Amino acid sequence: MKFHTQYLTFNTKKHREYINITSEVEKAVQASGATEGMVLVSAMHITAGVFVNDAESGLLQDIDEWLEHLAPYKDGYRHHRTGETNGDSHLKNLLVHHEVILPITKGALDLGPWQQVFYAEFDGQRNKRLVIKVMGE
């Protein structure tokens, strides 16, 4: 069994941003030497997420609007009593989730024809990390 760990750091220019990280995940799979297995991609912060979807700009805007509708940025979240102002970012994380597990087949990510891997930042403009953990043979 082979294991390979890689970390990515993000410092987005915007408060909310969606970054296609498919090529970085593919590079980690290649570096691992695993031909069959799984790769875990996990945001290491509770105000960020990871998801798989189509890399179509209109769809990404729709996703952003949907998340903002369900968990709007506003005053009044109880979490803000701690001095933070990112209650909505925590809720958006719950909707998107913080990680995905993807199959590796014949040494490559085994994704569908339109599937891409995205890092979702909901409380950006500061350093945040993501871990890519490849496990396989």
pLDDT of residue 116: 98
pLDDT of residue 86: 96
Mean pLDDT of each 10-residue bin along the chain, 137 residues long = 97 97 98 98 98 97 98 95 96 98 98 98 97 98
Q: Which class is 2-136 in CATH?
A: mainly beta
pLDDT of residue 3: 98
Q: What is the pLDDT of residues 9-32, one digit of tens each?
A: 999 999 999 999 999 999 999 999
pLDDT of residue 79: 96
Q: Can you give the pTM of this predicted structure?
A: 0.96
Cα dihedral 94→90→12→9 (10° resolution): -70
Alpha-carbon distance 109 to 134, whole Å?
11
Alpha-carbon distance 127 to 47, whole Å?
12
Residues paired with residue 7 on neighbouring β-strands, in sequence order: 131
**DSSP secondary structure letters along 10-31:** E--SSSSEEEE-HHHHHHHHHH
Q: What is the pLDDT of residues 110-124, one digit of tens each?
A: 999 999 999 999 999
pLDDT of residue 98: 97
Alpha-carbon distance 119 to 20, whole Å?
6
pLDDT of residue 44: 98
